[in-house]
Structure 1
């Protein structure tokens, strides 16, 4: 899952830009998630969820045509992205408002260190060009292994090269392709050998259960 940010000052068209990027990517068949960052809370005054929270619930969940969770704590981008990786197989995560994220971003005002394009003012004619940039210069979760297998001396050097358009997708082998390990919500770096070892060990245990319906597909293992 590649991550792309949309940043900029207030009322410069960030949400409109996110909408157009999502529409374009999903129209091409990609699976997309979005994440909105705010300095305030997400409240639903007067609704049942609000009443549950006011009664003291630490987590409020809703299930119907949609499923959602409200947690009384802030999660950082790495934790949220890791959770989304576990929940579903997605192609892109579009993040609105995380100014300090170390992932490729489009800015509607002033550029940052990881900005690949500034669209100020934003025009709908820019979308096709932006989609090409997003595909070429965005990348997924990096584990900071600094293993050098990508040809760069560190994950940060790879990240900077990717932002400049000087690294291919296949160059980075630090991304958790088979296993994502998190402890207290924080990703733990795993090299490809360890990922393969954990995957085979867990699947071997599942095979021993002798339950045919459990042997195929993705495995989610949570240890507390």
Structure 2
């Protein structure tokens, strides 16, 4: 399951510019990184297009072309749903925006520009010189030119925060005690190791259980 780290701040604070630099450094460090941009604007294909007509029926669509593909899903989606659907393919997902999402994040700008209800802030990237006094010593502060250090900071958080097992049910992450997590992990690996064509279990394991049809 991918570790999500957000780059948050007010509008026009430079989030995209910082994300591009962080993505570069994370990739150079050998991290399999993906990028998510959260927006308050509409992002789905217009309803008068072929894809839009499919989406209007509440059906997800994948738009496939010669240069790649784009997946579109109507309706609300949680951060855990994103982790569940694409997180197994990445080490880290860098999220641009997502102020309200419950994940670690760096805030662009002075600490006093950040609303008090923003969860998960672990660092600040100051777009203007820091004011004297009033700093939160429990947070890290970075300045222009220290983007590679921010990438190292994110990697360290990823290595400390990576969970060996995550349980997602209908887009909601279920908290597990260490004993329960170890029990489930051991049981799954034990059963899988007995199957043919499975010589070793060194990589990630993804299991999906579909909802039973109503009888």
Q: 1:66 to 1:194 in 2, by over 3 A?
A: farther
Give the conservation status (yes or no) of the 8 Å contact 1:13–1:108: no
Once the two structures are TM-superposed, the CA of residue 181 in structure 1 deviates from its matched residue by 0.7
Classify the secondary structure of the residue corresponding to 2:13: coil
Residue 27 (structure 2) aligns with: 26
Residue 200 (structure 1) aligns with: 186
Give the conservation status (yes or no) of the 8 Å contact 2:38–2:97: yes
The TM-score normalised by the length of structure 2 is 0.69
Once the two structures are TM-superposed, the CA of residue 117 in structure 1 deviates from its matched residue by 1.4
Classify the secondary structure of the residue corresponding to 1:139: helix
Deviation sequence 1:142-189 (CA, Å, 0-9, x none): xxxxxxxxxxxxxxxxxxxxxxxxxxx54x6xx521x21111211111
Residue 124 (structure 2) aligns with: 117
* Cα distance in structure 1, aligned partners of 2:127 and 2:168: 38
The TM-score normalised by the length of structure 1 is 0.66
Give unmatched runs, 5+ long, in structure 2: 130-141
Once the two structures are TM-superposed, the CA of residue 18 in structure 1 deviates from its matched residue by 1.3
Residue 153 (structure 1) aligns with: none
Q: How many residues align?
A: 186
Classify the secondary structure of the residue corresponding to 1:3: strand
Once the two structures are TM-superposed, the CA of residue 3 in structure 1 deviates from its matched residue by 3.1
* Cα distance in structure 2, aligned partners of 1:43 and 1:72: 7
> Once superposed, what is the RMSD of the aligned Cα atoms?
3.2
Once the two structures are TM-superposed, the CA of residue 212 in structure 1 deviates from its matched residue by 1.4
Give the conservation status (yes or no) of the 8 Å contact 1:60–1:69: yes
Residue 133 (structure 1) aligns with: 150
Give the conservation status (yes or no) of the 8 Å contact 2:4–2:94: yes
Give the conservation status (yes or no) of the 8 Å contact 2:64–2:70: yes
Residue 163 (structure 2) aligns with: 176
Residue 154 (structure 1) aligns with: none
Structure with greater proportional helix content: 1
* Cα distance in structure 1, aligned partners of 2:144 and 2:49: 37
Classify the secondary structure of the residue corresponding to 2:146: helix
Give unmatched runs, 5+ long, in structure 1: 141-168
Once the two structures are TM-superposed, the CA of residue 53 in structure 1 deviates from its matched residue by 2.1
